[in-house]
Structure formats: C-alpha cells, structure tokens
A = this chain, B = another copy of it.
Amino acid sequence: MTSNLQKILVAQGGGPTAVINQSLVGVVLEARRHKGIDRVYGARHGVRGIVDEDFVDLTQETSHNLELVAATPGSALGSTRDKPDLAYCERIFRVLRAHGIGHFFYIGGNDSSDTVRIVSQQAQAAGYPLRCIHIPKTIDNDLVGNDHTPGFPSAARFVAQAFAGANLDNAALPGVYLAVVMGRHAGFLTAASALGKKFPDDGPHLIYLPERTFVLEQFLADVQAMQRRHGRCVIAVSEGIHDASGAPILAQLAQDLERDAHGNVQLSGTGALADLLCAEIKQKLGIQRVRGDTFGYLQRSFIGCVSDVDQREAREVGEKAVQFAMWGDRDGSVAIQRTGYYSADYSLLPLDAVAGQTRVMDDAFISPSGTDVTDAFRLYLRPLLGSGLSDAYRLRPAPVAKVLHSGG
C-alpha cells in the first residue's frame, strides 16, 4: 500500500561526507517533480530534528541553490549521532502523524540504517502508513549488500592523494612516515592508500588493516625490513587495528576512552595512535626521523577533493530512493551494484538485510602478507576514484661520474 499522504521528510544522519548533500538534493528534486507530493520537508540534525519538530521546507528552495548545496561537502541539514529506541520512535511517530508525513528518507550509514529499520517496524506496529527508505552513505564502505557506498570513493580519493604526496615528501627527506586512517572495522579506506603508489618502490610500503590481527613485534620487524630495503618506509594504519582478542591497539595507550551513544570507542579526533606507534619505532628500532600524522576529519570533510563518480552516484541513490518509494510498495535500503567496468545500477534491499551488519574487506582484496592489497582491490577501487587524479613523475636516472670520490 502506497501512502496517500502528501508530504515527505528527508534527514541526514551520522558523519558528513563530501557527497551526502548530493543524495539530499537527489531526493528533493526528484520528489518535487512527483504530482503526489506537495511538500518536501527536511529535518534538522537527523532524527533529533524530527522529535524536536525542527523542520525546513525544501519545497521553497530554488533549484539553483539546491544544485550548489549538492556540490558542497558536509550535511546541509545537520546531522546527529542519536540512535532511537522504542520511546524515541514513539515521539517520531507523533510528529510524523501530526505533520501528515507519508515518506521518510534517511541518509546515513550502519547506525542510520538501523534507525530506519526500527522506525519502519514501529510504523507497521502502530498501523501508520509510513514508507521508510534508507539511503546509503559512509566513508568506511562497510554497508553489506553494496558494491560500495557513496562517500567512500571521495574519501578514498583523499587518502590516495594524501599518500601519493606523503610518499614524495618522504622520498625527498627519507625516514619513517606513518599515517592513521579512519575505519573502525573495515579497512577499505586505509587500503585506498595503495592507490597512491605509482613506481614499485613508492609507499605506502606497509598497510595495516582491521581485518587482520595487529602484532606489535611483527609490525616493528616489517618496518625494519622496509627501512633496510628502501632507506625509508611509508606506512598506512587503520584507526581500528586491534590485537588477537579484538581489543583496539589504541586502548593499550589511552586511559580514558570516550564512547558515543552507540557504544563506540572514540578513535578519531586524537593523534594518540600515530604518536604511540612512532614512539615504538623510535625506541625499539633506533630510527631517528619518524613522523606520524592522523588524517582525522580532513579525509571526510576536505573541500575540493571529490570523485565525480561518487558525486553522480550519490545523486542517483537519492533519486532512486524517491522512485522506489513512489512506485514500489515496500520499505528498504537503496544499494549500489556494479554492472560493468565501470557502470553501476541501484536496487532496494530489505532493511533487515542491511541494518546492524558490518561489511569488511574480502580476503581476495588483501595480500597473503596481510600488509598490502591485491590487484583485485586496485581494479575494484580505481574507477570509483573518478577522473582528473593528480599523477606523480620523477627524474630519470642520469648519474654524473664522481671525480674526487671515484675510488669509492
């Protein structure tokens, strides 16, 4: 049964990305051309804005400004980390019913898909005709049922470009360079660092993913071996690396771990993990020049680093969400499937098939050593990064014969 109500509501949840506003604008512009819809509301700061009745009328925004907002990173409506429970959902229903809203679109990641699932169940239980569609977004690329998720390609592009540049810097002033990349459970974004490599001796020389157990002694042996081979070493480390028990390596350092409402440990917004690992390298290996960076919020917020493929697909998942809602007859989560190299199509998955689950990297994407990616991963990621990627060139060897030191 398709709702006869005349209003739709769209909201954004979780961490902003470079392209989440494309999905928002995809929903708004597509909804505005449907005769059955006379109002498009946006909730400010996700589900929080629903319970607070903090709505804006997107029907009154110009198409021109919507296009400009679409090209702007961040969440234009604002976001939230709230995860609704039963009582929270009751409040959501009261508001939706009071405003005559029949379609709810929530753009977000794992936690947001779970929110949509709960709201959908509550709506059914309450007999309220609400169509609930989850629209995927996450830089971690950890939604199941998707070839990849909007937001990830642009963040991956940032990580690849960052390592391409860091490798050049490190080649000029050799030493150990280590950078910590976002990704709590899935290593896709850290693995994207490999796409910054061009020449065989380029970094990153070592990549540490949450899909593999991190053993400090092995890490130090790996770094020492690369340092001896190349006279330098560039390392990509996922913020989610953990020991055999699953405990975060960072937990060995931090005494007060901040947890959010979802029970997640705060891994971002601190340079502690990079500093800890650098200190270990200095102390245990006696390497003098060791530098650590933490890409932090730059990798999801930096303006001016976006994949055109990601932009297009983020727009399309928003458009498709409205089409599925208006022409279909079920709730669900929009998913991206790869149909060619490179082409994508969209489907609607059951919310139960997506919500509350976490996708990690296939074994086929990780080299047997556990510290590199495979060609399968490079082929998987490359088209997503989009066009116009910067390339690195080097001088060709043309050594000049020594005059004074010619004897050696």
B contact residues around A399 at 8 Å (CB)? 55-57
User: Do A271 and B268 touch (CB < 8 A)?
Assistant: no
Chain B proximity of A28: nearest CB distance (Å): 10
- In the bound assembly, the distance between CA atoms of A356 and B133 in angstroms comes to 63
B contact residues around A304 at 8 Å (CB)? 161, 165, 305, 389-390
Interface string of A194-205 (1 = CB under 8 A from B): 001000000000
- In the bound assembly, the distance between CA atoms of A69 and B405 in angstroms comes to 29
> Is A295 close to B, CB under 8 A?
yes
| A301-B395 contact, Cβ under 8 Å, with A269-B278, A404-B53 | no
Whose C-beta in chain B lies nearest to the C-beta of A294? B271
| A169-B297 contact, Cβ under 8 Å, with A393-B72, A395-B77 | yes
| A61-B169 contact, Cβ under 8 Å, with A99-B403, A403-B53 | no
> Is A171 close to B, CB under 8 A?
yes
> Is A168 close to B, CB under 8 A?
yes
| A395-B56 contact, Cβ under 8 Å, with A165-B301, A293-B296 | yes
> Is A212 close to B, CB under 8 A?
no
User: Do B41 and A400 touch (CB < 8 A)?
Assistant: yes
> Is A314 close to B, CB under 8 A?
no
User: Do A292 and B305 touch (CB < 8 A)?
Assistant: no
User: Do A293 and B269 touch (CB < 8 A)?
Assistant: yes
Copies in the complex: 2
**Of residues 10 to 60 in A, which have CB atoms within 8 Å of B's CB atoms?**
12, 15-16, 41-42, 45, 52-53, 55-58, 60
Interface residue from B94, B270, B292 paired with A269 (Cβ < 8 Å) = B292
Chain B proximity of A41: nearest CB distance (Å): 6
Whose C-beta in chain B lies nearest to the C-beta of A290? B269
How many chain A residues touch B (CB < 8 A): the figure is 84
- In the bound assembly, the distance between CA atoms of A78 and B168 in angstroms comes to 9
User: Do B69 and A393 touch (CB < 8 A)?
Assistant: yes
- In the bound assembly, the distance between CA atoms of A58 and B399 in angstroms comes to 9
> Is A172 close to B, CB under 8 A?
yes
Most B CB atoms within 10 A — which of A53, A71, A389?
A: A53
**Of residues 289 to 340 in A, which have CB atoms within 8 Å of B's CB atoms?**
290-298, 300-305
- In the bound assembly, the distance between CA atoms of A10 and B402 in angstroms comes to 17
B contact residues around A389 at 8 Å (CB)? 304
B contact residues around A298 at 8 Å (CB)? 162, 165-166, 293, 295, 298
B contact residues around A290 at 8 Å (CB)? 269
By Cβ-Cβ distance, the 4 closest A-B pairs, closest first, are: A271-B271, A74-B168, A269-B291, A293-B296
What are 8 inter-chain pairs, A to B, with CB distance below 8 A? A16-B173, A65-B393, A73-B168, A79-B173, A80-B173, A168-B301, A269-B278, A269-B293
